[in-house]
Amino acid sequence: MDPIFLVEAAINGILLGGVLAVLALGLNLIFGVLDIVWIAYVDLVMLAMYAFYFMVQGHGWSVWVAGPATLVVGALLGIAVHLLIISPILTSAPINQLLATGGLLFFLQSFATFLWTTDHRSVRLSLPSVEIGGIFLPFTRVIPFAISILAMLALYLFLRHTYIGTAIRAVSQDRDAMALMGANPQRVYVVTSAVGGAMAGLAATLLSFQYSVHPFFGGQFGPLTFMICVLGGLGNMVGAFVASFVMSEIIAIGGVMFSTEMGYVIAFVVFIVVMFARPGGILARRE
Amino acid sequence: MKSTRVALLLVLLLAVAVGASGTRPAAAQGQTIKIGVLFDHTGAFAAGGSLNCWRGAKMLIDYVNEKGGVLGKYKIVQVDADGQSKAEVAINEAERLLNAEKVDILAGIYSSAHAVPLAEKVDKQKKFLWITTAIADAVLKDRNLQYTFRPQPNGSLFGENSVQYVAHYSQEKLKKAPRDVRVAIIHEDGPYGTGVAAANEAEAKKQGMQIVLKEGFSIQSPDLSSLVTKLRAARPDVLLHTGYAPDISLFLRQAREQGLRVKIYIGHGAGHSQLDKLKEAFGPDVEGFHTVDPPAAQLIDPKKLRPGVADLTQEMLKRYKAFEPNIPAAQIAPHVSMGFNNMWILLNDVLPRAIQKHGGFSADALAAAARETDIPEGGTLQGYGVKFQPPGHPMAGQNLRAIAAVFQVVEGGLKHVYPPVVASLGNPPVLLPPSSPWAAR
């Protein structure tokens, strides 16, 4: 095969990795602070995608207006999920927490089917591609990648350089100690859920450039997102970022060198091997 | 006292014997026949044609009931079940329908991935299964199932027909002999996609075509860009694609954006036949696309059908308006016909014979009646005849008279273009139009 196609595959892997990173970071942020895995996280993304779709296709909003509005929708969904589902079970046994968020997943899928049927809905964005040396760079992937990198940078600055960001990091390190210092962890939880929800809204906007939305969209990205979070180390933001690109590159290059299915097989094998060697994730410190 | 106990025991034994015999005389069954209708109402398959099949089946059952039922007296009780686009759920729902709801007939099944495990399980229970939609050869091949029947064409016909169509027009449209035509085959990796792709490959080899790529993918793949990259490297003239629904949209988007260009694009059923959904995603760019499926009843010339059959097509179209009032007839997916027509064959041909000739609608009576079905060409709404392969045949239970048609999107609507027996266009465009974003120039 012409090496140019391998280069194209590598670039495609990077572009896919950017969007996966947004998904994984939102989920990991919530896990790091609340210590609960939102199984239904990608289904929140699905709801936000519907919101984006109806704003653009239904009401004719510009994507530049609908995009930020979808972030707000995501943040509100995040707060709602926290207050209605997560908050009452924060101190419950992990299995109960898992069952509750798993139940939410089925509820959201059924709710979306009930409201909007099983039809696949697409935001018809027709953006051009640029061809450089035989490699096609579609703007529907380049723009989401650029926005996702900027968003991750913004998240990093928010967590590092704002008071509430510092509080979020403090709670993620030791929630009991934070409470003993007189801080209110509940407020931090709500803000974290809002930020995680906004990341879901952002992911929804970016994914809508490339994917149709339907009630079972979560099945397409959910397993991969969790795998990335675990590979990077649950709660480890940098780990999730790195893992996103590791997995997307394996899938893209493995897909071209062997077969599409084999790309995923190799990614899963790498995941299993890393889990044996470093159960805490690729960036976990050895004890 | 002793004689009373003996009499009671005899009555009990008789009752058990009658209950276990499975051959309930029609008179003892009341005036209803329970049919379990199993399709995927939710999940990825619903919008890929399953819901339209269910609509077709339901419309026909309602129609028959309004006319007084089978033979004018047996009303159909339709018990719906949702396979949720998951094989394990479909199997559990089939068990529920058969053993809890005690349906007399299990009908429907959209996905071959569900039909393959389900058919064997149902057959082992000696229950009657009527498959209206799932096409994979593997559902029946070399299994010698006794109670499973499929009026629908099988997957091999799909795969062979599309390649024969390309061969038929290669010189005229591609300006190449078949041996010079470069063909790529991509398919979802379940029994449906794998079976159709295998038939594509075998027929392409038979025609001497060059197969430049053959590759499977999972319908859950979040990214198909590497497949597109490989296709670009392979430079096919013709792309043969077998997928379900969301994967088709994803592939087409990524193919368009990554610069994949071909001369002929042929999908094989499922999401490729849901023209209204494709148009919603891609607008007029779907012009020139192909799909392969059993003929759509509304596209068949009524003169080619037996007297009275075409009237039923009008009934189908009238009733479909209740579900989709704004879809023109030329854009209605052939899946509506599959549900309607194949249920009609069951209720209009098999069931009456089972009751009148074989004493009821037990699985044995129904199977015996199905084996005697002999509908000539033009005798059903979809144009094909019905005759099932007998027990012992490698494809026992398959309708040997079923045909698959190649459709092309022409002027925004579906048209039959191959084989000649159903073609409504003598000289179809075949090639993607120059305006198509996927067209090689």
Which structure tokens are listed for B327? Answer: 């879809």
| Mean pLDDT within B4-17 | 47
Half-sphere exposure of A20 (CA within 13 A, CB side): 32
Q: Are B214 and B201 spatial neighbours (Cβ–Cβ below 8 Å)?
A: yes
Inspect the interface and report whether the beta carbons of B217 and A1 lie closer than 8 Å. no
How far is B362 from chain A, CA to nearest CA, in Å? Answer: 36
Shortest Cα–Cα distance, A172 to chain B (Å): 31
Chain A nearest-CA distance from B259, in A, is: 7
> How many CA atoms within 13 Å lie on the side-chain side of B340?
32
* Domain ranges for chain A: 3-115+139-218
Whether residues B229 and A5 touch (CB distance < 8 A) is answered with yes
Distance CA(B197)–CA(B183), nearest Å, equals 12
Nearest to A256 among B222, B226, B257 (CB): B226
Nearest by CB to B259, from A131, A216, A248: name it: A131
Min Cα separation B429/chain A (Å): 26
Nearest CA in chain B to A5: B229
Query: Which of A258-262, A280-284, B195-199, B313-317 has the weakest average pLDDT?
Result: A280-284
Alpha carbons B64 and B74: distance in angstroms, whole number: 10
Looking at residue A285, its pLDDT comes to 59
pLDDT of residue A286: 53
pLDDT in tens, chain A (287 residues): 778 889 999 999 999 998 899 899 888 888 888 888 888 999 999 999 999 999 999 999 999 999 999 999 999 999 999 999 999 998 888 888 889 999 999 999 999 999 998 888 888 777 888 988 888 899 988 998 999 899 989 988 998 899 988 888 888 888 778 778 777 888 889 999 999 999 999 999 999 988 889 998 988 899 899 999 999 988 788 889 999 999 999 999 999 999 888 999 999 999 999 999 988 888 765 54
Q: Please report residues of B whose CB lies closer than 8 A to that of A216.
A: 42-44, 85
Q: Does B231 touch chain A (CB under 8 A)?
A: no
> Which residues on B lie below 8 Å from A220 (Cβ)?
220-222, 246
Lowest-pLDDT range, A2-6, B301-305, B334-338? Answer: A2-6
pLDDT at B20: 41
Interface of B with A in 404-423 (CB under 8 A): none
| Residue B22: pLDDT over 50 | no
Q: Which residues in B lie closer than 8 A to residue A260 (C-beta atoms)? A: 215-218, 221, 224, 226-227
Give the best residue of B220, B229, B254, B324 to mutate against chain A (max A CB count within 10 A).
B229
Which among A2, A120, A248 has the least Cβ separation from residue B246? Answer: A120
B261-270 tens-digit pLDDT: 999 999 999 9
Residue count (chain A):
287
pLDDT score recorded for residue A172: 81
Query: Which one of B215, B229, B282 has the shortest CB-CB distance to A9?
Result: B229
Q: Please, what's the largest Cα pairwise distance for chain A?
A: 63
pLDDT of residue A236: 84
Put simply, the answer to whether B227 touches A255 (Cβ < 8 Å) is yes
Q: Which of A2, A113, A131 is opposite residue B42, by nearest beta carbon?
A: A113
Say what the pLDDT of residue A169 is: 86
Q: Does B223 sit within 8 Å of A12, measured CB to CB?
A: yes
Q: Which residue of A lies nearest to B43 if distances are taken between CA atoms? A: A216
Tell me the nearest-neighbour CA distance from A191 into chain B, angstroms. Answer: 30
pTM for the full predicted model = 0.88
CA distance A24 to chain B (A): 14
Q: What is the mean pLDDT of chain B?
A: 92
Which pLDDT belongs to residue B271?
92
pLDDT at residue B17 tops 50: no
| Residue type for position A177 | A
- A173 CA to chain B: closest CA distance, Å? 33
Question: Which two structure tokens, joined as six digits, stand for B58?
Answer: 């339901």
Q: What is the CA radius of gyration of chain B?
A: 23
Handedness of CA A58, A62, A64, A65 (dihedral sign): negative
Highest mean pLDDT among A25-34, B41-50, B60-69: B60-69
With CB atoms and an 8 Å threshold, state whether A220 touches B246.
yes
Question: Which residues on chain B are in Cβ contact (under 8 Å) with A215?
Answer: 42
Q: What are phi and psi for residue A216, nearest 5 degrees?
A: -110, 25
Tell me the domains of chain B and their CATH numbers: 29-153+303-403 (3.40.50.2300), 156-293+411-418 (3.40.50.2300)
When CB atoms are compared, the residue of B43, B47, B221 closest to A260 is B221
Q: Please determine, for residue B251, whether its predicted confidence score (pLDDT) is greater than 50.
A: yes
- Whether B217 and A8 lie within 8 Å, measured CB to CB: no
**Measured between CB atoms, which of B41, B85, B215 is closest to A259?**
B215
| Shortest Cα–Cα distance, B218 to chain A (Å) | 7
Q: Do A1 and B233 touch (CB under 8 A)?
A: yes
Contacts of A16 in chain B (CB under 8 A): 222-223, 225
Report residue B193's pLDDT band, with 50, 70 and 90 as the boundaries: very high
- Please state, in angstroms and rounded to a whole number, the distance separating the CA atoms of residues B190 and B220: 11
- Chain B: nearest CA to A118, how far in angstroms? 6
In this complex, how many residue pairs, one in chain A and one in chain B, have their CB atoms less than 8 Å apart? Answer: 123
Residue appearing with tokens 């210590």:
A35
- Taking only residues 190 to 219 of chain B, the set having a beta carbon closer than 8 angstroms to any beta carbon of chain A reads 215-218
Q: Which residue of B248, B250, B257, B279 is the best one to mutate when testing the A interface, meaning the one whose CB has the most A CBs within 10 A?
A: B257
- CB within 8 Å: A16 and B225: yes
**β-pairing verdict for B75-82 and B32-39:** parallel
Average pLDDT over residues B26-31: 52
pLDDT at B5: 52
Averaged pLDDT for residues B379-393: 97
- Is the pLDDT reported for residue B26 higher than 60? no
